[in-house]
Amino acid sequence: MKALVTGGAGFIGSHIAKKLVDNNIEVHIIDNLSTGNLENIPFIPKSNIHIKDITDLEYIESLFQKFEYTYVIHLAAMVSVVETIEKPVQSNEVNIDASLNLLNCIKEYNPNIQKVIFASSAAVYGKLDGLPKSVDSPINPLSPYAIQKYASEQYTKMYNDLYNIPTISLRFFNIYGPRQNPKSDYSGVLSIINQKFIENQKFTFFGDGEQTRDFVYINDLVQAFWLVLNNDNVHGEVFNIGTGKQTTLNEVFDVFQENYNYTIPYEYKEERQGDIKYSYADVTKLQKIGYSPQYTIKEGIREYLKYNESTLDEK
């Protein structure tokens, strides 16, 4: 069995690739390394890593002409909301056109594929009054990123409805864990807090720190991924990937403080425009197919820090 993981050198992609490899599935990766890193995927042979842009439509087509994939997991994207605001046209090419091309290549060259999974985002909900956010809730995308995720998600569903391609979209909430890149101000906030603790630098809360998110430890995402990959009754569906619990940023900061046993300076600045105050996922649909998140925020952060320590020891 062969899987193609786009964005496989990134944070989530590398964990998904590892899960597939551990289950004896040959993994091919396509990644332009814009935010990903080859160090994340030492377990993938170089010959199966295609350092290419997902918008290189001809190259993608040539891959499908050459290989028959059992699974395609599509994660490559312009992941920064801010960057999509700055570059709406270019981000459209990466986040929509490339997704559509991928689906089309699957339809043309790989119609017997067993599963196509698309990484959507909780960003599609935007500012909603009701909580938790359910896949049946209205959507209200507030950025090009959110519009693009929604469009690709709906194209993904449409290829199931029109062409019977077994597709699924997953709306990721706030995923965190090892290998998440803390460099951008808009990357996962947990990786940023962690980096600030490591470097003993000041952390800035935008707002009063009482905003909430549904933080999901990467192993729980992998659990959900594996469940949908191996379920043939969920094609054409959309799932939330969350824990069903909300945690404030102030609470997250406290957990880091407890684990590091020291604190760092912090400040509160004005809330960022467009920031959503409260968010968490309704995961009942996922629970119905066997999902049961294993990590509370305390356990997830502890695991995350344990992993970081063990890799530091190796260096």
Ligand X SMILES: NC(=O)c1ccc[n+]([C@@H]2O[C@H](COP(=O)([O-])OP(=O)(O)OC[C@H]3O[C@@H](n4cnc5c(N)ncnc54)[C@H](O)[C@@H]3O)[C@@H](O)[C@H]2O)c1
- Which residue ranges make up the site for ligand X (CB under 6 A)? 7, 9-13, 31-36, 53-55, 75-79, 94, 119, 121, 172, 174-175, 181, 188
For residues 314 and 17, what is the distance between their CA atoms, to the nearest angstrom? 22
Residue 49 CB, nearest approach to ligand X (Å): 11
Toward ligand X, which CB reaches closer, 195 or 263?
Answer: 195
Tokens 């590892």, located at residue: 18
Toward ligand X, which CB reaches closer, 263 or 285?
Answer: 285
Q: Determine phi and psi for 281, rounding to 5 degrees.
A: -95, 145
Toward ligand X, which CB reaches closer, 101 or 121?
Answer: 121
Residue 198 CB, nearest approach to ligand X (Å): 19
Residue 268 CB, nearest approach to ligand X (Å): 23
What are the angstrom distances between the C-alpha of 24 and each of 18, 32, 174, 256, 298? 10, 25, 29, 36, 32
Total count of residues recorded for the chain: 315
Toward ligand X, which CB reaches closer, 112 or 294?
Answer: 294
Residue 262 CB, nearest approach to ligand X (Å): 27
Residue 217 CB, nearest approach to ligand X (Å): 11
- Cβ atoms of 72 and 4 closer than 8 Å: yes
Residue 121 CB, nearest approach to ligand X (Å): 4
For residues 147 and 125, what is the distance between their CA atoms, to the nearest angstrom? 10
Toward ligand X, which CB reaches closer, 58 or 313?
Answer: 58
For residues 46 and 32, what is the distance between their CA atoms, to the nearest angstrom? 14
Q: Which residues are catalytic?
A: 145
Toward ligand X, which CB reaches closer, 9 or 142?
Answer: 9
